Structure 1
Amino acid sequence: MLGPFRSMGRPDFDLLVVGDANPDVVVTGAPRVPEFGQRERLVEAGALVLGGSGAITACGAARLGLRTAFAGRVGDDAAGAFVLDVLTRGGVDVSACVVDPGAPTALTVVLADGGDRAILTASGCLDRLEPGDVPAALLERAAHIHVSSYFLQPRLAAGLPALFRTARAAGATTSLDTNDDPSGRWQGLDEVLPLTGVLLPNEREALAIAGRADGDLEGAVRDLAARGTTPVVKCGGDGALTIHEGEPLRVPAAPATVVDTVGAGDSFNAGLLAARLRGLPLRRALEVAVACGTLSTRAAGGTAAQPTWEEVTR
């Protein structure tokens, strides 16, 4: 069961996001198989936007009215300056973000084809982020700690159980969006899941983490809940699925004209966290989260169409 979150208004920050931030180069209308041999092909559109699951979630949360801080690493380069500028203009406190002179900012190219996409990431300084980069005082000043992209940040992942213990001892609640595992192994989560209040995978990630080769999503949700966390699964156009009082709880998504699905899951994360931090009951929080994810698909990139709290709850 998804228990209560620490309420807004007590600490300095409602939400601290720890994780990845990078520019996304989003190419819309990309061919399924790009043609090599120095061939040039025109596509529908291209955009340079803020990327990284953590950064997009932080921007979405700030847009929804949460006092939000972000802790991560960027390089001492133009890409890092771009990331910090966009986050700051989005209302996110980046004073704890490390500017690393020893490695470049991560960079992602997203090849978007309708509702599907291929993602190519140069990890740069992502794998240098570690728990020690997150000031202990900042953990004590936040009501909720959300961590993104577990498998892209091995040093952070190795120390995440201790970081979550520290946060929980200070009274904070916790959540994790592992995102994809490029290795395909999906290992190393056993210790951290019981310390994770909410796990936020998509359908494929939930099945992989649970080791469910049979494709039984409800079975995966039950398995993950038995490991000590509350899974809230993002199901795209089918809404969301969680478990409540031992039974599956599904919330549908409204029909939408999709421009770009990049970052929709991260906007979902922001919506769920904002709703729960405001004390909304579980079903209503899921409805808000699904709406945030859906509305974010109205424009290219992860942050351009993120809704305000008034927009998503009217």
Structure 2
Amino acid sequence: MATRFDLLVVGDANPDVVLVDAPRRPAFGQREELVRHGELALGGSAAIMACGAARLGLRTAFAGRVGDDAAGRFVLDALTRRGVDVSACTVDPSRPTGLTVILNEGGDRAILTALGTLPEMTAEDVPATVLEGVRHVHAASYFLQPGLAAGLPGLFAAARAAGATTSLDTNDDPSGRWDGLDAVLAMTDVLLPNEAEARAIAGTDDLAEAARMLASRGPLPVIKCGAAGALAWDGEPVRAAPMPAEPLDTVGAGDSFDAGLLAGRLRGLGLPDSLAVAAAAGALSTRAYGGTAAQPTWKEAAAAARLPERTVR
């Protein structure tokens, strides 16, 4: 069967309300405090990653669940305008769309999320016809979507049976337990945690040991290390240097990294070059507020990664 899509992204999508230079302890008692900047942007790890992948030139589809409300329409419109196919999305009239408020202060941020429709999504929301025509399936925000998490090993197994490869970015576990990953990791080709997530999943503070332990559970681990670059384990450590950046907003940088890594692999690049593109895509995405406004094109990311000229086109 001919492929319709290079990439299917499964998971969370919601509006982000980003407030810059917010107080660390907002005052209650009906006091009104002013912040330097506010932005309404597309949010959700999966949605931001899908937009980054489409911007990098991948034929990208998104499967998620939103409410039948203004927030849901905002999400679907934002994805569509960025070139992402949303025909596999479910509109759920029984629940509101999820919503996240991000309070930026200095180099740190607090994230407050109302889950809305997110826990209601299941693997059954993903049409089998989409799986049959895709090269790669990526899932995100595992712990925010227990319905999807329960069926994700089967979904990944079906994707593999149809000839696709798979990847997972668990994102944070608000419960702090990090349980229930064994079955899905066995069906995951690439695992994309950040440093804290890698250490928590592996149960060790030693990052290189965490990478080795995660690899022993099935996937290729690619660990995002922020200003220190990235670390993968492919029988031995493979490191990527960071790309210098003066970030305006780091929301979604990890999701743009994920998009860059997969774009490189799906274009046939080796791991070192794919890591370089991923680091560039993550860094370039921080040039504007919100997760999607500054995501780079393939030409921008490949040039920033200093790939050979033949790969920049």
The TM-score with structure 2 as length reference comes to: 0.95
- Deviations, residues 33-52 of structure 1 (Å, cap 9, x unaligned): 11222122111100000000
What amino acid is aligned across from residue 149 of structure 2 in structure 1?
Answer: A
Q: CA deviation at 1:254?
A: 2.0
- Structure 1 counterpart of 2:289: 300
- Deviations, residues 126-147 of structure 1 (Å, cap 9, x unaligned): 0000011000111111100000
What amino acid is aligned across from residue 169 of structure 1 in structure 2?
Answer: A
**Structure 1: how far apart are the matches of 2:243 and 2:203?**
30
What amino acid is aligned across from residue 207 of structure 2 in structure 1?
Answer: L
**Structure 1: how far apart are the matches of 2:287 and 2:218?**
35
- Deviations, residues 85-114 of structure 1 (Å, cap 9, x unaligned): 000000000001000000000000001123
What amino acid is aligned across from residue 252 of structure 2 in structure 1?
Answer: G
- Structure 1 counterpart of 2:55: 63
- Structure 1 counterpart of 2:200: 208
**Structure 2: how far apart are the matches of 1:114 and 1:141?**
44
Whether the aligned pair in 2 keeps the contact of 1:10 and 1:143 (CA below 8 Å) is no
Structure 2 residue corresponding to 1:235, chosen from 225, 233, 247:
225
**Segments ≥4 residues shifted beyond 3 Å:** none
**Structure 1: how far apart are the matches of 2:25 and 2:222?**
33
**Higher relative contact order (Cα pairs below 8 Å, separated by 6+ residues):** 1
Residue aligned with 1:301, SS: coil
* 1:257 counterpart = 2:249: no
Q: CA deviation at 1:32?
A: 1.4
- Structure 2 counterpart of 1:5: none
Q: CA deviation at 1:247?
A: 1.3
- Structure 2 counterpart of 1:222: 212
**Structure 2: how far apart are the matches of 1:311 and 1:262?**
20
RMSD: 1.0
- Structure 2 counterpart of 1:3: none
- Structure 1 counterpart of 2:10: 18
- Structure 1 counterpart of 2:120: 128
Q: Output aligned runs, 1:76-115, within 5 Å.
A: 76-115=68-107
Structure 2 residue corresponding to 1:165, chosen from 150, 157, 173:
157
**Structure 2: how far apart are the matches of 1:103 and 1:29?**
32
- Structure 1 counterpart of 2:265: 276
Q: Output aligned runs, 1:172-211, within 5 Å.
A: 172-211=164-203
**Structure 1 vs Structure 2: percent identity of aligned residues?**
70
The TM-score with structure 1 as length reference comes to: 0.95
**Structure 1: how far apart are the matches of 2:247 and 2:207?**
24
- Structure 1 counterpart of 2:275: 286
Residue aligned with 2:111, SS: strand
- Structure 2 counterpart of 1:6: none
What amino acid is aligned across from residue 228 of structure 1 in structure 2?
Answer: G
- Deviations, residues 178-223 of structure 1 (Å, cap 9, x unaligned): 00101110000011101100000000000001111xx210010001
- Structure 1 residue runs without a partner (length 5+): 1-8
**Structure 2: how far apart are the matches of 1:99 and 1:203?**
34
What amino acid is aligned across from residue 109 of structure 2 in structure 1?
Answer: R
**Structure 1: how far apart are the matches of 2:2 and 2:207?**
37
Whether the aligned pair in 2 keeps the contact of 1:109 and 1:120 (CA below 8 Å) is yes
Residue aligned with 2:182, SS: coil
Whether the aligned pair in 2 keeps the contact of 1:108 and 1:120 (CA below 8 Å) is yes
Q: CA deviation at 1:255?
A: 1.8
**Structure 2: how far apart are the matches of 1:101 and 1:263?**
28
**Structure 2: how far apart are the matches of 1:206 and 1:113?**
25
- Deviations, residues 53-99 of structure 1 (Å, cap 9, x unaligned): 00000000000000000000000000000000000000000001000
- Deviations, residues 140-179 of structure 1 (Å, cap 9, x unaligned): 1110000010001001100111111100000000000000
**Structure 2: how far apart are the matches of 1:10 and 1:144?**
14
